[in-house]
Amino acid sequence: MATLYRLACSSILVVGGRGRRFQISRSIHQGCPLAPFLFLIVTEVFSTYLNSIGVGIQGLVAPISNKMILDVEFADDTPLHMRVEEGNLCKAHVALETFCITSCVKVNWCKSMGFWVSTRPLPSWRPSESFRWIQEGLLVRYLCCEVGINVHRERLLAPLLLLLRKKLLIWDTRELSLASKFLIANKVLLSSMWDIASTCLFSRSYLLQVQRLA
């Protein structure tokens, strides 16, 4: 992969014309179709390593399937579901550091956070000064939605409804055919809901508001 990109060049279309070619010096450029597959290769190795017996991290047991859940990768985002023990957290930290050294990747601790879902006091464990524990009642953004501990469902869904209204205002000023409006409603408005719908139950009142917007 490094060989393919070492001498790669690109150019930019400017006012219908093609600009001067220049050498790519910042790894894979945004939008490259190869990027998702490279992420899959790395995250698959990462997941296998974390779940290996030698690492010894204890995940959470799902109540229905009775299977242990430790990691769920989404591109370069990885939430870890672990038992609330400082020794367990230390093992995860060592595993992360080991994988970073061997794979030349880095953890962005400024964007990393922890949810302490336990009646015990917050642990003193912190892998970095920039790492933070999220207190009960606070909301933080993860991927495309707001998440928190013991936060009312309507409060979680309010930002999404605001996002849908903003998108609608952008398209509402344009003269669109009926077919185009159907396309915009399905691909632009409602597509923002699918990821959140897989993890959060929508209330009837919320669904009615979304239906009116659509």
What is the percent of the chain where pLDDT is above 90?
15
19 Cα distance to chain centroid? 35
Is 189 contained in some domain?
yes
Residues 181 and 126 in one domain: no
Q: Is residue 195 in a domain?
A: yes
Task: Pick the closest to residue 132 from 154, 150, 110 (CA basis).
Answer: 110
Q: Are residues 54 and 106 in the same domain?
A: yes
> Rounded to an integer, what distance in angstroms lies between the CA atom of residue 172 and that of residue 45?
46
Range of the domain at 85: 31-134
Domain final residue, candidates 106, 134, 162: 134
Residue 189 reports pLDDT greater than 80: no
**Based on the number of CB atoms within 10 Å of its own CB, is 52 exposed (0-12), middle (13-18) or buried (19 or more)?**
exposed
Q: Is the pLDDT of residue 4 over 80?
A: no
> Does residue 3 sit within a domain?
no
Asked if residue 130 belongs to a domain, the reply is yes
Structural domain contains residue 166:
yes
Residues 110 and 169 in one domain: no
The answer to whether residue 139 is domain-embedded is: no
Residue 63 has pLDDT above 70, yes or no: yes
* pTM score, whole prediction: 0.65
Question: What's the pLDDT tens digit per position in 103-150?
Answer: 888 899 988 999 888 888 888 888 888 898 887 878 887 776 777 888
Is there a single domain that holds both residue 129 and residue 157?
no
Based on the fold, state whether residues 113 and 162 are members of the same structural domain. no
2 occurs within a structural domain: no
> Does the pLDDT at position 36 exceed 90?
no
Is residue 130 located within the same domain as residue 165?
no
pLDDT tens readout for residues 64-113: 888 889 998 877 788 999 988 888 989 999 999 999 999 888 899 988 99
In a domain, 99, yes or no: yes
The dihedrals phi and psi of 2, each to the nearest 5 degrees, come to -65, -40
- Residue 50 is predicted with a pLDDT of 92
For residue 6, give the H/E element and its range: helix 2-6
Mark whether 127 and 35 lie in a shared domain: yes
pLDDT at position 206, please?
Answer: 81
